[in-house]
Amino acid sequence: MPLTALDIYKVLPKTNCGECGVPTCLAFAMQLATKKAAIDTCPYASDDAKATLAGAAAPPIRLVSIGPVEKCIVIGKETVLFRHEETFYHPTAIAVRIPVDGSPDELRAAFERVQAMQFDRVGQIVSIELVALADVTGDPDRFASAAEVATGLGIGLVLMSPSPEVLGAAAARIRPHRPLLYAATTENWEAMAEVARTNACPLAVRGRDLDELAELTRQIAALGVTDLVIDSGARGLAPALQDLTQIRRLALRKQFRPFGYPAMAFVVADDQIDQVMEASAYICKYAALVVAETLETWQALTLVTLRQNIYTDPQVPIQVEAGLHTIGSPDESSPVFVTTNFSLTYFTVEADTESGRTSAWLVVVNTDGQSVMTAWAADKFNAETIAKAIAESGVADKVSHRRAVVPGGIAALSGKLEELSGWEIIVGPRESAGIPAFMRTRWQELTAAAAS
Ligand code: SF4
């Protein structure tokens, strides 16, 4: 909960010296409460006052990064319970558990299977980004060697072992890769905190219930280890979801600091469909990290697709870069299509054109990510913007003709567009699914007529 002016006034010196630029400490407190001033402006503010204000300014859920600085995965720092209230910022990280019990070759193959789980979806590469490496033998050297192989492949890691010694040996060997260490418990928290502190790694904390978890995070944070990820210990969809929701509510609504960390969940269902449903529920509410026992490619695709949708800001449409794009290998006689920079529109046009085995030039107009008819209605896809886009795209230097195909829905613009652009405007199909048929009939006629 943000501090009120009165809360802040209580920790100020109350001398009303005026050196902060306002006549009284209360006036200064009011400025601080509305973020119009910084505490450093008062030369007499105590360390306590500074700590109080810093604590109040800290995000309700801490931002935690896993992995090396140049390729880290960032989780936490969410600010709302429901996406429609604002947005969700940091997508749930997904990890696949791999036990260290096979041969080096088997392990490497397992790592590479996870690494291959990446998909190009609406212009974004979405992937499974972490492996949860599980110590099942208690052998520090074997575990550390497996961690080295994974990081050598560029894989981010969660290191899982009940033994601080085993985790410490692996963390020391791959220190720059900043794995998440799992997990501090009531039995080992001091030693685990020391391993995390020494190796500057984030630390997962597991309680047997929410009360124990809160007590543990308080104790560990008091040791100065604050990059924490929390696990309530609940397993199974209903209890885990209940705890995840409780943790998020308490962190956001009550500013309950012991739960002010990203939370994690484990998928425990046996059936593969149930595994997807369980993981999906955790992605929706409110896991920052989900660990799956196993993951097939079809399961991974389902989860990363859901995650991409949940963590896409609904107020910011996914966009592609405006300008000239190519489909296939177009040449000087290839058609020139015009569309908007709304990602789904762009990729639909691209896919439908490719399905007709046609190479084409695509002039993409910046409509702030709006689709054809929405942008037309908002006057962002009009004769002026399209003519300007055609001119600036440089497509005139790429083709020997001067014919541009516009979506059928904006046929009414074609006259004015011809005037402004100097191009012959061909009204294409209303839906891009009609492009293959359009190319076989209308475009062929135009080409033949031009040749005769
Ligand atoms: S400088 Fe500090 S002590 Fe002086 S009036 Fe401002 S807040 Fe109060």
What secondary structure does DSSP assign to 53-80, as a single string?
HHHHHS-SS-EEEES-GGG-EEEE----
The SS3 call for residue 181 is strand
21: left (phi over 0), alpha (psi -120 to 50) or beta: left
Distance 9 CA to ligand 1 centre (A): 10
pLDDT tens for each residue of 418-448: 999 999 999 999 999 999 999 999 999 998 8
Q: Ligand 1 pocket, 221 CB below 6 A?
A: no
Q: Ligand 1 pocket, 17 CB below 6 A?
A: yes
The SS3 call for residue 322 is coil
Q: Ligand 1 pocket, 28 CB below 6 A?
A: yes
Find the mean pLDDT for residues 343-352.
Answer: 92
**Residue with CA at minimum distance from ligand 1 atom 7:** 25
**Residue with CA at minimum distance from ligand 1 atom 2:** 42
pLDDT tens for each residue of 12-37: 999 999 999 999 999 999 988 887 88
Distance 5 CA to ligand 1 centre (A): 14
- Beta strand 156-160 pairing with 180-184: parallel
Distance 32 CA to ligand 1 centre (A): 12
Q: Ligand 1 pocket, 25 CB below 6 A?
A: yes
Q: Ligand 1 pocket, 44 CB below 6 A?
A: yes
pLDDT tens for each residue of 189-209: 999 999 999 999 999 999 999
Torsion of CA 388, 392, 393, 397, to 10 degrees: 120
- Beta strand 360-365 pairing with 336-340: parallel
pLDDT computed for residue 304 by the predictor: 96
**Residue 2's pLDDT band (boundaries 50, 70, 90)?**
low
